[in-house]
């Protein structure tokens, strides 16, 4: 396997990076870097860490080129070299007070997830952004719990996050090396390809646990739809990559009216196919801190779509409402 960390790979321009990964020779991993500057989304770092972990487990060979770029300090602080079990190219202060990031963590238990969620606000300095902090915590919780419940991943999820000042956003990467979406969804739905499985996984009401609409008592099949919707209503990117396909939600321009769809292929998106096969699932998401609307009003907007066409068929009027006392 070979992976090259390029000059830049964020969700908007991540496609060439994904296509460039070489998955042959699964017992060997070569990592190299752009010589001058590496600026990558946390999902890229989590993805490299996951591959490195698999190699270490299988007692394979890990060859990491020397990173001379000054920006490799970022990779060091994010814990990539420690995670890979190799010496970092130089010493840096692991978490200086001005840094706004969460280094790589392996989350494989309720307790570790709780710790991560507790650390999230102080480490990303989100005290002054309580509404966005709630959206970010919501997103991480739903995505990591998806890994716990559906991925059958021996090591749980590998997660890291970073605040980017110039774009004023928090970027999150969550990666697992589990069974992948297609195996999960195809167990109960007809999903012959990774592309179709990803589409189904993003449709509300579809879960790998039952054919019944609405899911089971433990799974509604709505988690990914709501997380994608949080990105969409915030006009941010969202990436879901599994097997040899990926769905990338594009940013909705400020000039465009916001529209949510049950079918993700009706969203403004790009579908990537014939990608190097990723055994497991990769999720990247950006959450802008520019948004001034409350998380509650964002959820209210999503709920309007969630109730879908109910207003048309009069069902909504007949719906029983919860009683808040």
Partner 1 sequence: MTTETIVRIFDQTGEFAEDKNKAKEMRAKEILPALERNETVILNFEKVNSTTQSFIHALISEAIKQKGIDILDRLLFKNCNQIVQEVVKIVVEYLQDPPKLSDLPTNDDENGHKASSFGKRI
Say whether residue 294 binds partner 1 (CB under 8 A).
Answer: yes
Say whether residue 88 binds partner 1 (CB under 8 A).
Answer: no
> Within a 10 A sphere around the Cβ of 154, how many other Cβ atoms?
12
Instruction: Write out the binding residues for partner 1, residues 176-235 only, by CB under 8 A.
Output: 189, 200, 203-206, 213-215, 217-220, 222-223, 226
When the beta carbons of 39 and 219 are compared against partner 1, the nearer one is 219
The partner residues of 164 in beta bridges, in order of sequence, read: 169
Three-state DSSP class for residue 33: strand
How far apart CA 91 and CA 104 sit, in angstroms, is 17
Say whether residue 310 binds partner 1 (CB under 8 A).
Answer: yes
Three-state DSSP class for residue 297: helix
Min dist CB 119 to partner 1, Å, is 12
Min dist CB 46 to partner 1, Å, is 20
When the beta carbons of 183 and 261 are compared against partner 1, the nearer one is 261
Q: Indicate which single residue of 87, 115, 168, 259 sits in contact with partner 1 (rule: CB under 8 A).
A: 259
CB distance 240 to 224 below 8 Å? yes
> Within a 10 A sphere around the Cβ of 276, how many other Cβ atoms?
16
Site string for partner 1, 125-144 (x = CB under 8 A): ---------x--xx--xx--
| Choices 16-24, 43-51, 251-259, 284-292 (CB under 8 A): range interacting with partner 1 | 251-259
CB distance 41 to 171 below 8 Å? yes
Say whether residue 156 binds partner 1 (CB under 8 A).
Answer: no
String of b and e for 202-214 (b: at least 16 CB within 10 Å)?
A: bbbbbbbbbeeee
Min dist CB 308 to partner 1, Å, is 4
How far apart CA 232 and CA 266 sit, in angstroms, is 13
| Choices 59-67, 89-97, 281-289, 314-322 (CB under 8 A): range interacting with partner 1 | 314-322
The radius of gyration of the chain from alpha carbons, rounded to an integer in Å, stands at 20
Count of chain residues binding partner 1 (CB under 8 A): 62
How far apart CA 86 and CA 78 sit, in angstroms, is 14
Min dist CB 323 to partner 1, Å, is 5
When the beta carbons of 2 and 134 are compared against partner 1, the nearer one is 134
When the beta carbons of 35 and 130 are compared against partner 1, the nearer one is 130
The partner residues of 272 in beta bridges, in order of sequence, read: 246
**Pairing label, strands 278-288, 169-176:** antiparallel
Min dist CB 309 to partner 1, Å, is 6
**Residue count (the chain):** 325
Residue located via tokens 């706004």: 100
The partner residues of 238 in beta bridges, in order of sequence, read: 249, 285
| Choices 31-39, 47-55, 156-164, 262-270 (CB under 8 A): range interacting with partner 1 | 262-270
Q: Please give the residue ranges that form the binding site for partner 1 (CB under 8 A).
A: 110, 113-114, 117, 134, 137-138, 141-142, 145, 189, 200, 203-206, 213-215, 217-220, 222-223, 226, 257-263, 265-266, 269, 271, 294-297, 299-310, 315-316, 319-325
């Amino acid at each position: 396997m070979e992976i090259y960390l390029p000059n830049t790979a964020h969700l908007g321009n991540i496609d060439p990076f994904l296509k460039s990964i070489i998955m042959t020779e699964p017992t060997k991993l070569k990592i190299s870097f752009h010589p001058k500057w590496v600026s990558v989304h946390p999902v890229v770092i989590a993805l490299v860490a996951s591959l490195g972990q698999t190699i270490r487990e299988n007692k394979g060979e890990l060859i990491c080129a020397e990173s001379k770029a000054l920006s490799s300090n970022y990779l060091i602080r994010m814990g990539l070299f420690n995670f890979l079990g190799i010496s970092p190219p130089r010493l840096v202060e692991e978490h200086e007070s001005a840094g706004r990031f969460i280094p790589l963590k392996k989350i494989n238990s309720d307790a570790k997830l709780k710790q991560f969620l507790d650390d999230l606000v102080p480490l990303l300095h989100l005290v002054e952004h309580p509404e966005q902090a709630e959206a970010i915590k919501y997103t991480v919780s739903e995505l990591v719990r998806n890994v716990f419940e559906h991925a059958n991943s021996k090591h749980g999820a590998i997660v890291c996050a970073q605040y980017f000042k110039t774009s004023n956003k928090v970027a999150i990467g969550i990666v697992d090396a589990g069974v992948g979406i297609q195996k999960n969804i195809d167990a109960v739905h007809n999903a012959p390809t990774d592309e179709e499985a990803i589409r189904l996984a993003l449709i509300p009401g579809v879960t790998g646990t039952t054919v019944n609409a609405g899911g089971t008592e433990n799974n509604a099949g709505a988690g990914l739809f709501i997380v994608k919707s949080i990105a969409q209503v915030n006009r941010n990117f969202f990436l879901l990559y599994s097997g040899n396909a990926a769905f990338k939600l594009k940013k909705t321009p400020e000039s465009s009216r916001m529209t949510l769809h049950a079918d993700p292929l009706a969203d403004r998106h790009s579908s990537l196919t014939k990608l190097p096969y990723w055994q497991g699932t990769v999720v990247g998401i950006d959450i802008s801190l520019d948004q001034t609307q409350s998380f509650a009003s964002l959820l209210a907007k999503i709920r309007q779509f969630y109730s879908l066409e109910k207003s048309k068929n009069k069902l909504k009027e007949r719906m029983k409402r919860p009683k808040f006392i």
